Amino acid sequence: MHKRIRSGFVLLILGLLSLSAASAALPVAVNGNNLPTLAPMLERALPAVVNIATEARVKIARDPFFDDPIFRHFFDMPERQREKKTQSLGSGVIVDADKGYIITNSHVIDKADKITVTLHDGRQFEAKVIGRDKDTDIAVIRIQADKLTELTMTDSDVLKVGDFVVAIGNPFGLGNSVTSGIISGLRRSGLGIEGYEDFIQTDASINPGNSGGALVNLRGELIGINTAILSRSGGNIGIGFAIPSNMAKSLMAQLIEFGEVKRGLLGLSVQDITADLANAFGLKTNKGVVVTRVVDGLPADKAGVRTGDIILKINKQAVLNAASMHNAIGLLRVDQRVKMEVLRNGNRLQLTAIVTEPIQARMPAGKIHARLRGATLGEMPEGLEMTGIVITRIKTDSPAWNAGLREGDIITSVNKQPVRTLKQLQNTASSSRSLLLNIRRGNNALFLLLQ
């Protein structure tokens, strides 16, 4: 399993170096010194990388003729199977041997009804999902097993372009496989792979099945979770991406504690600083973001942030552009204290905000209307650019799911009536047999008719 970015590119072949079959074998030592090898490190690291196999049941679209019992009886046709099983493979990394916690990609276990983990020594265990976050493509699963080996998660903020790295995974279901390379780039974002992106880029080959596997340094410490490749054909061309270990560690802590990532809210809007804006603000650099809007009563407003401020740093981390600001805010926890370095009228200010919960109230949607059963609804704070009722959770194969609703959808109107609060939604929907919902999904809008 892996994700790809579909884009045009040119692959330039620089040359091919061939070795004669008759050439002598490589020596085991030179001038009495052993040749460098990764084998000792890999002997320690490989047992911590596991294979993850999933099974899922997918409904088959119904044919009205073949599903008609009279039609089947007339033509003596048996009952048709209305679902089929699908299987997929991926990788995972044991990060807590005592408790059996394994980090992988969310898309590896997406819609899985059964998850089987195969260890390096061949043992197999059924895994339980602890939590997953689609916006960052991180998931935590757990197995009950003894004699496990874990990888130590190290500080990914100290990584540098050019550092040697090793990717470990389970490509094509062949068993543990290892590729090596260097870090080609850091803090990659704006790729359209996930909702929140802060990737390590590497030229170590990441192949199908490597998703959720380990990116380690030469000490065998975990520095990233392999997640995607840049490719047109699906083959590897030396552009792979991994989620940094610091980001994965922070998300893992929330998934274990809450079963989900509780993202915080600052209540502001920003944009990139172009060359023209830099001149207008008298800046010598276009690094940072300019605040275009501050919502009254929310954390940024209470901290003293004002429209026109230039945000340079969040928690001592430089803000490069709006995408990096989006990532920084998206990874903040509710009630977390955030320090911001702000430039205002040529003066640098240090401001502190306390992150708040973005969803103000929640309610099971089944209490409002039978067609919405299986979904959990939440209110968004007043004053945000997008208002409405957000679907915070939804159960697969529930009435709400089968109607086409998905987690993260924002209901902006019901039966052509705008809704901003759960009470408004309840008043509008409870007396109607059918519901015409106007949905905002990402950058798209659509209507759904539930009847």
Which region holds residue 94: left if phi is over 0, alpha if psi is between -120 and 50, else beta? beta
Distance CA 116, CA 173 (A): 13
Contact present, 217 and 157 (Cβ < 8 Å)? no
Distance CA 58, CA 343 (A): 53
Both tokens of 128, joined, read: 């339980």
Which residue from 350, 374, 379 is spatially nearest to 362, judged by alpha carbons? 379
Of 88, 106, 137, 184, the active-site residue reads 137
The CB-side HSE value for 391 (13 A sphere, CA atoms) comes to: 26
- What lies within 8 Å, CB to CB, of 423 at 6+ separation is none
211 is catalytic: yes
Sequence-ordered strand ranges (E) for 31-127 = 33-34, 49-59, 83-96, 101-104, 114-118, 124-126
Both tokens of 117, joined, read: 């983990």
Both tokens of 337, joined, read: 């204290």
- State the Cα angle at 239 between 165 and 246, rounded to 5°: 50
- State the Cα angle at 270 between 281 and 194, rounded to 5°: 140
Both tokens of 260, joined, read: 């989900």
Q: How many residues does the chain have?
A: 451
- Tell me which H or E stretch contains 233: none
Residue 62 CB coordination number (10 Å): 10
Residue 433 CB coordination number (10 Å): 9
- H-assigned helices in 211-321: 245-258, 275-280, 299-303
Of 177, 211, 324, 413, the active-site residue reads 211
Question: Which residues are registered as beta bridge partners of 351?
Answer: 340
Distance CA 382, CA 38 (A): 56
2 is catalytic: no
Please spell the DSSP secondary structure of 238-250, one letter per residue.
S-EEEEEHHHHHH
Give how far Cα 63 sits from Cα of 68, 73, 78, 122, Å.
Answer: 9, 15, 14, 43
Residue 49 dihedral angles phi and psi, to the nearest 5°: -100, 125
Residue 35 CB coordination number (10 Å): 9
Both tokens of 143, joined, read: 């197995």
Of 88, 107, 309, 369, the active-site residue reads 107
Q: Catalytic site residues? A: 107, 137, 211
